[in-house]
Structure 1
């Protein structure tokens, strides 16, 4: 009986706890096209937001940013790894976004510095 309790104690204390963060990103899979940006900023009315696209690959936890126009509206074109937890996407450059998918609409809301009023920005995408 003593060995049984000792074995249980060894099992309990030898189990590793995982600090891996889990992101609920399965809804992000695929292509998204920028349709609108909401911020304390102004854009030329001629800017075509749809020239910015995101391609999420949830199997590799990466997103490809494509800027077909002259403007970098979200991030520079390239492939970015991401992590996060629940509905928060975090990038290696320490930027984070809260995301929400409703049907064919995706919103990415920049998690800003709360003491700075002018860095609040929300990006709205749709599936092409």
Structure 2
């Protein structure tokens, strides 16, 4: 009976689908990023200083620290956030998701919004600090 249970447990573990496991494939996120631009269907004052927003990714712990040094908040409130996701999508515990791309010293985050609303797409452009 013990062998049967052991065999059943082994079959169960082998048959588990690992595609659902949170795996971010790009460790290039690691480090500090400074916001350069926000592109959206909105207007910003010509003198707005986006660089007051910084992100610090720690890929070994899947945490993101957001630092807003000014009075404006462009990305998230200052604080530490845990993330998961798969491939090039970051999923946060506040039910927001962002598609990301790292190209050398540039990071692009695209807010994955409601596809039925055309005016809420936001693209954040960062450079490595």
- Tell me if both proteins adopt one fold, taking TM over 0.5 as the criterion: yes
Q: 1:70-119 CA distances to partner (integer Å, 9 max, x unpaired)?
A: 10100000000000000000000110000000000000001110100111
* In structure 2, distance between residues paired with 1:115 and 1:14: 40
Which deviates more, 18-27 or 36-45? 18-27
Q: CA RMSD in A?
A: 1.9
Moved >4 Å (runs of 4+)? 9-12
**1:3-35: CA deviations, max 9, x gaps?**
xxx8xx647524252442211131100000000
Alignment of 1:18-97 (within 5 A): 18=18, 19-97=20-98
Instruction: Name structure 2 gaps, 5 residues minimum.
Output: none
The unaligned stretches of length 5 or more in structure 1 are: 1-5
More divergent stretch after superposition (94-103 vs 14-23): 14-23
Q: Distance in 1 between matches of 2:81 and 2:9?
A: 39
Equivalent residue number for residue 11 of structure 2? 13
Deviations 1:42-77 (A, max 9, x none): 001121000000000011100000000110100000
TM-score of the aligned structures, taking structure 1 as reference length? 0.88
Task: Identify the residue that residue 3 of structure 1 maps to in structure 2.
Answer: none
Counterpart CA distance in 1 for 2:25 and 2:73 is 27
The whole-number CA distance in structure 2 between the counterparts of 1:60 and 1:11 is: 30
